[in-house]
Amino acid sequence: MAESCIDFAHNLSCLLCDPVYYGTAVPRGDRSPVLLIPGFFAGDWSLATLARWLSRIGYRPYLSGIDWNVGCPDEKSERLGWRLAHITDECGKPAVVLGHSLGGVLARALAVKYPARVKHVVTLGSPARISWTAVRARYRPAIRGFQALWQALNNRPANCGTDQCTCAFGEAVNSRIPRGVKLSSFYTRTDEVVDWRACITAEGDNHEVSGGHASMAVNREVYRLLAVILATGNGARPAASAAVPAGL
């Protein structure tokens, strides 16, 4: 945990000293809406820096309305669907849905459930499928403990939020991304929470950056790549895209 905090502080300080954060020499946005979804046990506050930057370079960021991302993901997915509908109706165009960690898993589910309202899914340190094997062994007990406590307090079945759940969310997140929806997955090989190999997808573009898991929302490498990727509206793969490693 201490290592994650140090890595976050380091990446945030590097970002705030980098011209990319102030919109220097980056492609400008087209005022497309971007729905931001936080990771597990985090809230909209964790993506505030990213939201300000997106607004600065020409996009219309929208926060999810999630204070703490815990609880039934199916219920969250349904509420996010309402939020997405409001955003796309207001803007008159489909949205980019960007999620960090668990937020990226929710973003994938939204694309499957509402493909006409999503044009691009961006995930930061998010596994492509729900599985405990995607979580580093040292963090599994803590996450399982939080989940078990929530299930007990809310009288939920033990498989809620796992790959064993048969709810609409589980079905959606384990389905392929619909044709016409672009997918960009960011990962780091030094991710301390999620196994980076679980983030690799054959359905879209994979982008490797340095740093840790929690700091991806303030990682200047992510910002620099993201500016180019979001501005590439014709579906072409940007030069910085990494190929899927052999054997995965």
Give residue 242's pLDDT band: very low, low, confident or very high (50, 70, 90): very low
In 3D, which of 66, 72, 79 has the Cα closest to residue 156? Answer: 72
**Residue 237, pLDDT score:** 39
In this structure, are residues 97 and 121 in contact, taking their beta carbons and an 8 Å threshold?
yes
**Which amino acid, 42?**
A
Mean pLDDT calculated for residue range 45-69: 97
Share of the chain above pLDDT 90, in %: 68
**Residue 73, pLDDT score:** 85
For residues 233 and 85, give the distance between their C-alpha atoms in angstroms, rounded to a whole number. Answer: 21
Number of Cβ within 10 Å of residue 136's Cβ equals 16
Query: How high is the mean pLDDT of the chain?
Result: 87
Burial class (CB in 10 A: 0-12, 13-18, 19+), 244: middle
Q: Which two tokens stand for residue 229?
A: 């990727």
**Residue 235, pLDDT score:** 38
> What pTM was computed for the model?
0.87
Give residue 245's pLDDT band: very low, low, confident or very high (50, 70, 90): very low
In this structure, are residues 110 and 88 in contact, taking their beta carbons and an 8 Å threshold?
no
Phi, psi of 207 (to 5 degrees): -125, 115
Name every residue whose Cβ is closer than 8 Å to that of residue 53 and which is 6 or more positions away in sequence. 21, 23, 223
Mean pLDDT calculated for residue range 116-143: 85
Give residue 199's pLDDT band: very low, low, confident or very high (50, 70, 90): very high
For residues 120 and 205, give the distance between their C-alpha atoms in angstroms, rounded to a whole number. Answer: 11
Using CA atoms, how far residue 134 sits from 46, 101, 112, 162, 227, in Å, is 22, 11, 21, 12, 28
For residues 227 and 29, give the distance between their C-alpha atoms in angstroms, rounded to a whole number. Answer: 8
**Residue 119, pLDDT score:** 97
Longest C-alpha distance within the chain, in Å?
A: 52
**Residue 212, pLDDT score:** 96
